[in-house]
Amino acid sequence: MSEILITRKHRLSAKKARIAAEHVAADLQKEYELEYEWDDSGVLRFERAGLHGELRLAKGEVTVLVRLGFLLWPFRASLEREIHLYFDERFA
């Protein structure tokens, strides 16, 4: 299984960071048909066939971990670029 792990700093309040994460998840759900939900510990978990992961918020930091199934390995670089673009837009 291939993984994408990205951690970025941000200057958003906890409330605004959660709203930004929710926007990212909604965009991904619409574009890539991902299902997502917040768990009890405040981690946003998402999945679809061949892909699952999580987004964690900490003070001044956002981390995403994506695990790709075998069939999505060839798309790893483009998916990683998309994540960086989402972070640039939502957590700037």
Digit-by-digit pLDDT tens for the chain (92 residues) are 699 999 999 999 999 999 999 998 898 888 888 999 999 999 999 999 999 999 999 999 999 999 999 999 898 999 899 899 988 988 88
Among candidates 7, 16, 12, which has minimal Cα distance to 60? 12
* Amino acid 86: pLDDT: 86
**Overall number of domains in the chain:** 1
Distance CA 20, CA 15 (A): 9
Q: Is 39 helix (H, G, I), strand (E, B) or coil?
A: coil
Residue 27 has a pLDDT of 87
Can you give the residue range of the structural domain that contains 69?
2-90
CATH code at position 17 = 3.30.530.20
